[in-house]
Amino acid sequence: MTLASNLISIITPAYQAQEFIARAVSSVISQTYTQWEMLIISDDLQDYQAILAQQGIEDPRLRFFSTGQVAAGVNTSRSIALSQADGEWITTLDADDSFMPKRLKKLLPIAQKYNMAGDNVSVVNHSNGELIRTLFPEQASHSLLWLDAEQYCQTNIPMTFLFHRSLVTLPWQSDVELGEDTLFNLRLMQEVGVLVPITSKCLHRYYVHNRSLCHSPDSAIRAERGYTHSLKRLQSDGMGFNTPDYQRIVLKMLSEKQAFNRFYLQQLEQGFKGSFQEFAYQHSIESILLRPDLEQAETQPQMANS
């Protein structure tokens, strides 16, 4: 397959996304970097091309696909899109989130140098547009921060990365119900083999709303099932983690997340009324994770694009 040089393929699964999809797509159309394609995968048999057209949103760079099912899952949707993507570079955007206009333009040069790049995240209230928090404190005086796998495992707000397609060793695993996006990103980091640069500036908006998975009444039960399954798979086939260091990191992450989820279940039984996300915010440790290293940009090993 011949990939289009410097084309960025943006993968967006769509399940019951009629309320949100226009915002996500509009944020991509508004990008100052214009060499992109957006692959929208319907996972509910809805015609999202028609839905967007009814709102006056049409662009030849939008491509539409379907799983042919209802609720096949976000991982199945993403893997279908990956198989159809023409871009040398890949990133994901959930249908209920959005990009800031300069996200692709700012991240691509960094990814071209290191094969993978990420950004800070704004957590926004969907209902009123108010900023709830940021993933990491924004640091205006430093353009880049550096993230290692163990630090990434401690985050509790979804991050998305821009990465070279050659880093993908396994597509998203359809049998993993929870956290496969994190595991997928860790497999990318394993391939990079070094710290991953991220901008301290927030270029990605993550919207919180009552239909989010972490707000569902059975979120903790689903999480318990998901972590148990992933731990079994890690033991049986490694889930694509082929180095002792990453096997240790992933085992520790899954075990700690399962323990934290069980703690949340215990607190629910004792009267806690909030969602898992609200509970996680109360116990966040992200403020101690990252520090800028002004010398890191000069000493960081560079990756050659495949």
3-state helix/strand/coil string of the chain: CCCEEEEEEEEEEECCCCCCHHHHHHHHHCCCCCCEEEEEEECECCCHHHHHHCCCCCCCCEEEEECCCECCCHHHHHHHHHHHCCEEEEEECCCCCEECCCHHHHHHHHHHHHCEEEEEEEEEECCCCCEEEECCCCCCCCCEEEECHHHHHCCCCCCCEEEEHHHCCCCCCCCCCCCHHHHHHHHHHHHHCCCEEEEEEEEEEEEECCCCHHHCCCHHHHHHHHHHHHHHHHHHHHHHCCCHHHHHHHHHHHHHHHHHHHHHHHHHHCCCCCCHHHHHHHCCCHHHCCCCCCCHHHHCCCCCCC
Query: pLDDT grade, residue 302 (50/70/90)?
Result: very low
**Residue 32: its pLDDT value, please?**
98
pLDDT digits (tens, 9 = 90+) for 83-129: 999 999 999 999 999 999 999 999 999 999 999 999 999 999 988 98
- Mean pLDDT, the chain, as a whole number? 89
Query: pLDDT grade, residue 233 (50/70/90)?
Result: very high
Average pLDDT for 226-241? 96
**Residue 294: its pLDDT value, please?**
40
Query: pLDDT grade, residue 10 (50/70/90)?
Result: very high
Average pLDDT for 133-153? 85
Average pLDDT for 38-56? 98
pLDDT(292) > 70 = no
pLDDT digits (tens, 9 = 90+) for 183-213: 999 999 999 998 999 999 999 999 987 666 5
Question: pTM, whole model, 2 decimals?
Answer: 0.90
Domain extent listing, the chain? 4-213, 214-285
Q: Provide CATH code, domain 4-213.
A: 3.90.550.10
Rounded to 10°, the helix 180-192/244-269 angle is 160
